[in-house]
């Protein structure tokens, strides 16, 4: 059996011959049926989590350092999901280990966002109590420094509990004449709250700023005997200012609606790097329609027209600029990995790379965005390397809510009131099978209500969400607050092109999935990890076959050679 982590040499820095950390016997993890072997005692590693913003799984191709230095020496999780694919709810799930219906952050707009989050117990407070240095570097929750705290406190210089060091992007809207204008989403006039002080970075690219700050914490913490946890959350590849000359201009689609194309800013040296490689948007087939028949889709997608050639060129440029922003981040990650090596901490540090949600780039005719539970939005990259982590692929489902309990187990403690489960058993022992559904959630202000054929208003769900669903290895069932539904057999239709919700041949499957939907959509803590009925579970061999087939068929549809 492979150990979870190897023994650490000489404290947090891992320098030979100077002290040692105490051995921690982790509590028995809460994990899915099948992974029964207990994990061995571990010495607590450093924990570096790098979480990109709005990055798709197939965009890992533009990040050679992540592929080589993390995925190339560690585990790649082929079924990694953000249950609520939107920045703020997803980040709240990372911090709390809870689904959005439990932590209450249902959107990035008021009354939700930063203001709605209870930050008294997070993975930061848990790790700090376990003896870790803790640092946030980058984006926090949408609305931070702009909305008041949950307790009503002004958040312009607020530092939440549990953080040794705080380097957070500020969302406060300072005027253009203020030296602090810019905020989180201005790549070249980035403004932060650093340990309670507002600090602007005029003319400095934010990805580089956060990379330097992360390395500074690594060097400083490495001189001490305590282990550390750093949550590095760059803005890339999320769209942001300033506007640039090569940004695609707004266009009108075939129905006359104006589309504003959203791109990240990039430094001059990287512009054009992927122009030859990216010949069409990643979610748009090189030839033919994105989806010829939309009659099976809900109303918010059903009447969206195919892109014309002008729109396709614009979305291709969006894909290129996103790749360029990711490549800049990848360079910073490469430098950071060298810092770990040079400070003697490489062998003592678990590194996780992921994203808060996926992103549409043309699939189902959706030009841009997220929130919906279709695969491009729901799936996120997740690769992990470090002491005791084998070089392997895993197919068991892993979600954002599982990260906090996993990090807590590395620290020899537990995450309270979590809906997730540590995935270290899968890392150490291999896949155990898909036994628990992924609960999907979302809210979209623009479609909260609509009129049906009888002109009666269809109310939203009573807790404020607009979409709720479940995703098993084979099936995905989603219900909207409008009463509309989607059902896909992912084994036969991994691209979700043919909805089966009204197909008589799937009536019995749908009936059982609806019952399963009711069983899980309000789940809390251990109830979220109850095994499904046997007919909806998948063995390791079955989940691998379904996932590998999805990768092959998706690549063929979009004309890609890179695994998604």
What pLDDT does 464 receive? 85
Beta partners for residue 194, in sequence order? 167, 197
Dihedral pair phi/psi, residue 209, rounded to 5°: -60, -50
Per-domain residue ranges for the chain? 439-558
What pLDDT does 8 receive? 31
What pLDDT does 33 receive? 34
Q: Which residues of the chain have pLDDT under 50?
A: 1-42, 448-459, 564
Contact assessment for residue 360 and residue 370, using Cβ atoms and an 8 Å cutoff: yes
What pLDDT does 10 receive? 32
Contact assessment for residue 455 and residue 470, using Cβ atoms and an 8 Å cutoff: no
Contact assessment for residue 399 and residue 380, using Cβ atoms and an 8 Å cutoff: no
Beta partners for residue 385, in sequence order? 351
CA-to-CA dists, residue 199 to 202, 213, 218, 236, angstroms: 10, 13, 21, 20
- Rounded CA separation 377/384 (Å): 21
- Rounded CA separation 375/81 (Å): 9
Beta partners for residue 396, in sequence order? none
Contact assessment for residue 248 and residue 317, using Cβ atoms and an 8 Å cutoff: yes
What pLDDT does 17 receive? 32
DSSP letter at 31 equals -
**Cβ-proximal residues to 256 (8 Å cutoff; 6+ apart), any chain:** none
175 by Cβ neighbours in 10 Å (0-12 / 13-18 / 19+) ranks as: exposed
Angle of CA points 293, 297, 298, to nearest 5°: 145
Calculate the CA 91 to chain-centre distance: 8
Pairing of strands 133-138, 228-233: parallel
What pLDDT does 463 receive? 76
Condensed to tens digits (0 to 9), the pLDDT of residues 15-53 reads: 333 333 333 333 333 333 333 334 444 479 999 999 999
What pLDDT does 255 receive? 79
DSSP letter at 396 equals S
Helix (H, G, I), strand (E, B) or coil at 138: strand
16 by Cβ neighbours in 10 Å (0-12 / 13-18 / 19+) ranks as: exposed
């Amino acid at each position: 059996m492979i150990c979870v982590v190897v023994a650490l040499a000489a404290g947090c820095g891992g320098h030979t011959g100077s002290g040692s950390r105490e051995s921690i016997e982790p509590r028995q993890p809460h994990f899915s049926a099948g992974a029964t072997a207990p994990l061995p005692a571990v010495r607590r590693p450093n924990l570096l989590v790098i979480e990109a913003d709005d990055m798709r799984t197939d965009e890992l191709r533009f990040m050679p350092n992540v592929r080589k230095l993390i995925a190339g020496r560690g585990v790649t999780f082929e079924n990694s999901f953000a249950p609520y694919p939107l920045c703020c709810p997803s980040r709240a799930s990372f911090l709390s280990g809870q689904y959005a219906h439990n932590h209450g952050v249902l959107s990035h707009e008021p009354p939700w966002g930063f203001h709605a989050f209870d930050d008294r117990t997070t993975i930061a407070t848990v790790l700090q109590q376990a003896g870790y240095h803790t640092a946030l570097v980058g984006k926090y929750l949408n609305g931070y420094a702009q909305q008041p705290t949950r307790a009503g406190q002004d958040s312009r210089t607020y530092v939440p509990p549990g953080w040794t060091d705080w380097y957070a992007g500020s969302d406060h809207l300072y005027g253009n004449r203020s030296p602090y204008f810019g905020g989180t989403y201005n790549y070249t006039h980035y403004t932060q709250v650093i340990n309670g002080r507002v600090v602007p970075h005029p003319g400095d690219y934010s990805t580089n700023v956060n990379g330097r700050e992360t390395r500074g914490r690594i060097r400083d913490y490495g001189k001490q005997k305590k282990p550390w946890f750093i949550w590095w959350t760059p803005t890339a590849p999320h769209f942001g200012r300033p506007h640039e000359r090569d940004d695609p201009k707004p266009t009108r689609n075939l129905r006359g609606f104006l589309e504003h194309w959203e791109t990240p800013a990039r430094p001059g040296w990287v512009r054009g790097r992927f122009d030859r490689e990216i010949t069409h948007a990643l979610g748009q087939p090189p030839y033919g329609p994105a989806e010829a028949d939309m009659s099976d889709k809900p109303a918010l997608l059903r009447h969206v027209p195919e892109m014309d050639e002008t729109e396709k060129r614009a979305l291709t440029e969006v894909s290129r600029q996103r790749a360029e922003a990711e490549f800049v981040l990848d360079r910073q990650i490469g430098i950071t990995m060298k810092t770990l090596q040079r400070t003697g901490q490489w062998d003592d540090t678990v590194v996780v790379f992921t994203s808060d949600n996926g992103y549409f780039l043309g699939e189902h005719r959706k030009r841009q965005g997220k929130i919906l539970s279709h695969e491009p939005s729901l799936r996120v990259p997740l690769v992990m390397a470090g002491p005791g982590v084998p070089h392997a692929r895993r197919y068991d489902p892993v979600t954002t809510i599982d990260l906090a309990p996993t990090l807590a187990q590395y620290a020899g403690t537990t995450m309270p009131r979590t809906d997730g489960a540590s995935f270290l058993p899968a890392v150490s022992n291999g896949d155990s099978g898909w036994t628990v559904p992924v609960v999907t959630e979302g809210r979209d202000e623009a479609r909260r209500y609509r009129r049906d054929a009888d002109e009666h208003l269809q109310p939203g769900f009573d807790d404020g969400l607009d979409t709720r669903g479940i995703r098993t290895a084979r099936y995905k069932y989603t219900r909207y607050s409008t009463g509309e539904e989607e059902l896909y057999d992912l084994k036969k239709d991994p691209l979700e092109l043919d909805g089966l919700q009204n197909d008589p041949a799937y009536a019995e499957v749908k009936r059982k999935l609806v019952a399963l939907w009711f069983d899980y959509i309000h789940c809390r803590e251990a109830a979220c990890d109850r095994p499904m009925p046997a007919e909806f579970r998948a063995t390791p061999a079955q989940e691998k076959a379904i996932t590998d087939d999805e990768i092959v068929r998706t690549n063929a549809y979009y004309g890609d050679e890179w695994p998604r």
